[in-house]
Amino acid sequence: MIVFEILEGTTRAWGKKGGSASLKYRCTTGPRKGQVRASAAACMAPMNIKKSAAIKHTKAAKAGRIKVKTAKTKRTNPASKRIARMNAGTRRKKI
């Protein structure tokens, strides 16, 4: 497989790695469209149906708790704020 074929469905985006920022890949096509992954090859990797069903069930059951924890992290963690600012410059403006 050629490197271009792997990178074709991705763009670069900043993501957290521990407490610091690192460059990762945002999937623009495939089953993980919109997700940020550490490697471009992960965007087109086959889905694990069992894990997919389990996380959907968990997210449905604990939606409120996830919402509160995510808001707290985004509000208080300096790395989250910094990454949000760094990724904001790469978004396309709507005309």
Residue 95: its pLDDT value, please? Answer: 65
pLDDT at 19: 81
92 pLDDT exceeds 90? no
Which DSSP category does 47 fall into? Answer: P
Q: In the chain, pLDDT over 70 holds for what percent of residues?
A: 86
The pTM of the full predicted model, rounded to 2 decimals, is 0.73
- Asked if residue 44 lies in contact with residue 37, where contact means CB atoms within 8 angstroms, the answer is no
The amino acid occupying position 25 is Y
**pLDDT digits over 22-56, tens only?**
999 999 998 999 999 999 999 999 999 999 999 99
The helix (H) or strand (E) run that includes residue 67 is helix 63-76
